[in-house]
Amino acid sequence: MSADRERYIARRRELLELEAEVQRAAVAATFARLEQRHGLSWAAGAARTAVRVLTSPRVRWLVLAAVLRRLRSGRRVRAPS
């Protein structure tokens, strides 16, 4: 094989390796975006569920009662020991 042909093959191989590296980086970035989007969609679904639950008057009353109980218990002054 001639030296020119060997250089051509080596250069072609180098270009193919660079192209493969770019493709791997693109695939990794795509997977990262999909993973983030999945996490965001899960969080949005949880938020929608929480809003639906809080629209119930009974649940709102229970949450308010729990918050007020916490606030009231925090205001009590403890006797010195």
Tell me how far apart the alpha carbons of residues 34 and 31 are, in angstroms, rounded to a whole number: 5
Tell me how far apart the alpha carbons of residues 27 and 23 are, in angstroms, rounded to a whole number: 6
Tell me how far apart the alpha carbons of residues 58 and 61 are, in angstroms, rounded to a whole number: 5
Q: What is the pLDDT of residue 42?
A: 86
Question: HSE (CB half, 13 Å, CA atoms) of 37?
Answer: 6
Whether this model's pTM surpasses 0.85: no
Rounded mean pLDDT, 17-28: 93
Tell me how far apart the alpha carbons of residues 53 and 68 are, in angstroms, rounded to a whole number: 19
Per-residue pLDDT band for 35 (boundaries 50, 70, 90) equals: confident
Q: What is the pLDDT of residue 63?
A: 87
Q: Is the pLDDT of residue 80 over 70?
A: no
